[in-house]
């Protein structure tokens, strides 16, 4: 049985309105000015307790991180100010006794492009690793370890200071030299190195208030915001939203029952939109997840592209298998599914010779997917235009359940046709935005 949640069309439309406001702001800013805006939003949320801004919304879109930070109290909306924001942390040079204020362009290069800059006062090299290392050095000034050649078989090691090049490898080499000089036992040396490596490894949590770099998370979310809001008229239609809500519940049904060897399932944009809106009511979302899956279902927007492609193929197949051949998307996957998710052999599809690289049916005999409506012909596109944008509502990637089935390119109007379970048809016409 597919469980339904309390999320409504109005909830999704309200979420869309908030997205549109951020989209309109983004369109007026340069990349660096946008970065400063995101940093200010994170500061307002973390240090000032502002709970109605984009930073708070994006934090809610990472349910496990959000619940961990709230300590399980999801009714408490305001952030704690026990830790500084990223704006405060990245404001000045992290080298000893420097505190030189970094310029906006320096912070932008270091934070968003993972670059390295030189401080104009102390001439130390500054990167994100430098800030992480500075936090570690400040927290761990010394440690007591086993040293068989020392009195009482123990020695206190004063940890190295932040190296001038600000790099983790240099720090680790200095630490190793110090331990050898102090005649630390091999087992103790390995234990220290393991602990330091664990703390300083690249995928460790953010240096800020939460286990999430909220500025980077907001930047990633803006990619989704742009894709949706360039088609705002379409996505805000009640009939489109209603169809999306139904598909969201189906998606959560297969999410809760997915095989253990299926790493991830990938939502199409209509499903993702409703998913985001639902997560912005964390209490209701947690309640729904517990009822459907017996646990909180997380939302990870950092999955690598290769895993996403595989996950989409698995979702495509599991959906058809679970819902008796019902179509998931007008865009078939490009990679084979995992064995557990496989419902239709990947050999069913082949790449068309057309420049748009659309996939077409390879066989003429009926299959589970034989009756899927493929998109209409596309005008020629540039070479290298691969069909990876299956989440974008355009001619070559539309979503079953929320498709624009009839399209008049002359009048730029569209007729939306929704086919219900009893073959009833509801039709409405509305203006759609041109994609240019």
Task: Tell me whether residue 91 is in a domain.
Answer: no
Are 137 and 182 found together in one domain? yes
Rounded CA gap, 195 and 197, in Å?
6
pLDDT category at 186 given cuts 50, 70, 90 is confident
pLDDT at site 39: 97
Residue 303 contacts by C-beta under 8 Å, 6 or more apart in sequence? 264, 311
Highest mean pLDDT among 161-165, 224-228, 359-363: 161-165
Percent of the chain with pLDDT over 90: 45
383 has a pLDDT exceeding 70:
no
How far the first Cα of the chain sits from its last, in Å, is 42
Candidates 262, 261, 272, 333; CA nearest to 299 is: 272
- The mean-pLDDT minimum among 87-91, 153-157, 233-237 falls in 153-157
- The mean-pLDDT minimum among 43-52, 272-281, 294-303, 372-381 falls in 372-381
Tens of pLDDT, residue by residue over 108-144, are 999 999 999 999 999 999 999 999 999 889 888 888 8
Task: Tell me whether residue 222 is in a domain.
Answer: no
**Mean pLDDT, range 72-90, rounded to an integer:** 67
Task: Tell me whether residue 368 is in a domain.
Answer: yes
pLDDT at site 112: 94
219 has a pLDDT exceeding 70:
yes
Task: Tell me whether residue 104 is in a domain.
Answer: no
Of residues 89 and 330, more confidently modeled:
89
Are 126 and 271 found together in one domain? no
Are 168 and 302 found together in one domain? no
85 has a pLDDT exceeding 70:
yes
In angstroms, the Cα distances linking 63 to 33, 207, 303 are 28, 19, 16
Are 339 and 393 found together in one domain? yes
pLDDT at site 155: 75
pLDDT at site 193: 80
Are 363 and 249 found together in one domain? yes
pLDDT at site 208: 64
Of residues 327 and 80, more confidently modeled:
327
Are 173 and 250 found together in one domain? no
Tens of pLDDT, residue by residue over 224-281, are 999 899 889 889 989 889 989 999 999 999 999 998 888 899 999 899 999 999 999 9
Task: Tell me whether residue 28 is in a domain.
Answer: no
pLDDT category at 152 given cuts 50, 70, 90 is low
Are 241 and 196 found together in one domain? no
- Among 200, 226, 257, the domain boundary falls at 200
Candidates 91, 199, 81, 83; CA nearest to 140 is: 199
Of residues 135 and 288, more confidently modeled:
288
Print the domain residue range for 382: 237-431
Task: Tell me whether residue 372 is in a domain.
Answer: yes
Are 272 and 412 found together in one domain? yes
pLDDT at site 372: 30
Look at residue 319 and give its three-state secondary structure. helix
199 has a pLDDT exceeding 70:
yes
Q: Residue-wise over 315-345: b if at least 16 C-beta within 10 A, else e? A: bbbbbbbbeebebbbbbbbbeebbeebebbe
**Mean pLDDT, range 203-230, rounded to an integer:** 83
Are 133 and 279 found together in one domain? no
pLDDT at site 363: 33
Are 196 and 244 found together in one domain? no
- Among 142, 174, 200, the domain boundary falls at 200
Task: Tell me whether residue 131 is in a domain.
Answer: yes
pLDDT at site 343: 45
322 has a pLDDT exceeding 90:
yes
Tens of pLDDT, residue by residue over 404-415, are 433 332 233 333
pLDDT category at 149 given cuts 50, 70, 90 is low
177 has a pLDDT exceeding 70:
yes
- Among 172, 200, 228, the domain boundary falls at 200
Give kind and range of the element (H or E) at residue 227. Answer: helix 214-229
Are 193 and 266 found together in one domain? no
Are 269 and 382 found together in one domain? yes
- The mean-pLDDT minimum among 192-201, 267-276, 277-286, 348-357 falls in 348-357
Residue 35 contacts by C-beta under 8 Å, 6 or more apart in sequence? 104, 107, 108, 111, 112, 215, 219
Task: Tell me whether residue 294 is in a domain.
Answer: yes
Q: How confident is the prediction for the chain on average, in pLDDT?
A: 77
Of residues 368 and 232, more confidently modeled:
232
Domain count, the chain: 2
């Amino acid at each position: 049985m597919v469980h339904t949640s309390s999320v409504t069309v109005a909830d999704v439309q309200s979420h869309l309105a908030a997205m549109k406001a951020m989209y309109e702001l983004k369109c007026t800013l340069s990349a660096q000015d946008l970065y400063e805006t995101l940093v200010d939003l994170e500061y307002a949320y973390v240090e000032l307790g502002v709970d109605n801004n984009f930073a708070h919304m994006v934090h809610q879109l990472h349910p496990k991180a959000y619940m961990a930070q709230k300590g399980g109290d999801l009714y408490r909306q305001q952030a704690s100010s026990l830790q500084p924001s990223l704006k405060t942390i990245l404001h000045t040079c992290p080298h000893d006794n420097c505190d030189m204020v970094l310029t906006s362009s320096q912070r932008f290069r270091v934070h968003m492009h993972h670059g390295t800059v030189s401080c104009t006062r102390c001439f130390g090299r500054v990167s994100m690793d430098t800030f992480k290392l500075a936090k570690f050095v400040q927290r761990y000034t010394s440690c007591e370890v086993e040293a068989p050649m020392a009195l009482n078989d123990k020695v206190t090691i004063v940890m190295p200071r932040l190296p001038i090049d600000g790099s983790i490898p240099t720090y680790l080499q200095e630490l190793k030299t110090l331990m050898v000089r102090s005649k630390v036992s091999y087992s103790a040396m390995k234990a220290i190195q393991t602990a330091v490596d664990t703390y300083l490894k690249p995928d460790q949590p953010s240096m800020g208030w939460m286990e999430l770099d909220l500025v980077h998370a907001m930047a990633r979310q803006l990619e989704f915001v742009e894709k949706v809001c360039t088609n705002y008229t379409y996505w805000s239609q009640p009939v489109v939203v209603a169809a999306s809500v139904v598909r969201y519940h189906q998606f959560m049904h297969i999410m809760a029952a997915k095989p253990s060897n299926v790493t991830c399932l990938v939502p199409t944009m209509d499903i993702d939109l409703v998913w985001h809106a639902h997560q912005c009511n964390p209490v209701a979302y947690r309640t729904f997840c517990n009822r459907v899956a017996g646990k909180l279902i997380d939302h990870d927007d950092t999955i690598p592209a290769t895993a996403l492609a595989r996950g989409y193929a698995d979702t495509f197949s599991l959906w058809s298998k679970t819902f008796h051949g019902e179509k998931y998307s007008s865009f078939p996957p490009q990679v084979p599914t995992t064995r557990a998710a496989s419902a239709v052999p990947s050999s069913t599809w082949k790449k068309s010779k057309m420049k748009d690289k659309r996939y077409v049916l390879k066989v003429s005999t009926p299959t589970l997917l034989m009756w899927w409506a493929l998109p209409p012909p596309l005008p020629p596109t540039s070479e290298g235009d691969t069909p990876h944008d299956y989440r974008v509502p355009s001619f070559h990637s539309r979503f079953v359940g929320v498709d624009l089935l009839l399209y008049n390119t002359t009048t730029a109007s569209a007729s939306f046709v929704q086919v219900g379970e009893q073959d009833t048809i509801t039709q409405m016409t509305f203006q759609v935005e041109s994609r240019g």
